[in-house]
Amino acid sequence: MSDTTATSRPPAAPVLSTRQRVMRQLLRDKAAMAASAVILLLVLMAVFAPLIVALVGHGPNEQFRDTGLTAGGVPLPPGSLFLLGTDVVGRDLFVRLVVGTQVTVFVAIACALTAIVIGVVIGMLAGYRGGLIDTLLSGFVDVVLGLPLLITAVALVSVYGASFGIMMGTIVFFTWGPVARVVRNLVVATKSGEFVDAARMLGASDTHIMVREILPNIAGQVIVYGSLLIPQVIVLEASLSFLGLGVPPPTATWGGIIAENQTNYAVAWWSILFPSLFLLAATLAFNVLGDGLRDALDPTAQRSR
């Protein structure tokens, strides 16, 4: 009887690692997969932007006043010669959007990673050390978060002029603070765990405890926050470029393209619609992917919803 029971018992389910469980959950999330496809498409467009421009045969700043504008000087609508139409001075809108995608993807990834690194370092120091260090660092974060972004950006541009470096520095300066605050709270909640006490009793240094014990336990939340930080950076970059505080023209950016054609929307709707759709697709895709990562890394929150 016992032999029959033993042979009929179903095999035990395999134990999945955290990475395998997260990947399985993400693959089941259709919205996250669709968002990943959009992000992959944007990244590929940015990587192969020079090849795409070469294949089209139109430079991003090349003005086609004879073939890209009507006799009355109105931009051409989407067609076979200009896939997404032309802008106010006869430039190929598709080519400029491709080059703008390259700028946006680079700025979003570079600024988000820099802000996350700075925020993680300062947040871990404040949360783990506590005391005076926590007070000083947290107070500095509060000061940074209290500064007005637009006034600071205008002041920097008026002194140093609009440039790529000024724009990226401004974005990083105003995005690392929330990361530091989140990480600090996570570290405060994690450092009281028994595994931290065990590591300290075994003679582990503070650096070892922060890097090898605490950081892996909060990495999931940091990754989720980072994925949600990227769309914020994209919107900031587009906003600064739209206001003339970002990359100076004629360099193509999504916000700059919208700003250049904002007075032409009545006769050239495509010059506003297509860059706005690119901006919407990018921000929405990263937000949806961030929600999917949060659900995959925290199944209890998903079940409660």
Q: Are 118 and 176 in contact (CB under 8 A)?
A: yes
Number of alpha helices (DSSP H) and beta strands (DSSP E) in the chain: 15, 0
Q: Supply the DSSP string of 182-193, one letter for each residue.
A: HHHHHHHHHTTS
Say how far apart CA 21 and CA 297 lie, in whole Å: 9
Residue 155 lies in a domain: yes
CATH number at residue 108: 1.10.3720.10
pLDDT at 40: 94
Q: Over the chain (305 residues), what is each successive 10-residue block's mean pLDDT?
A: 51 59 78 92 93 92 87 88 90 93 91 94 90 91 90 87 87 93 91 83 85 86 88 90 83 89 86 93 91 73 46
pTM: 0.84
The reported pLDDT for the residue numbered 177 is: 92
Cβ neighbors of 52 (< 8 A, separation 6 or more) are: 45, 95, 98
Question: In 3D, which of 105, 20, 41, 25 has the Cα closest to residue 293?
Answer: 25
Q: Is residue 131 part of a domain?
A: yes
Domain contains 1: no
List 69's β-bridge partners, or say none. Answer: 75
d(CA 176, CA 259): 27
* Residues of the domain holding 53: 19-304
Q: Is residue 250 part of a domain?
A: yes
Residue 271 within a domain: yes
Predicted local distance difference test score (pLDDT) of residue 14:
59
Judge whether 96 lies within some domain.
yes
Q: Is residue 198 part of a domain?
A: yes
With respect to residue 6, please indicate whether it lies within any of the assigned structural domains.
Answer: no
For residue 256, give the 3-state DSSP assignment.
Answer: helix
Count of beta carbons in the 10 Å neighbourhood of residue 61: 15
Number of separate domains in the chain: 1
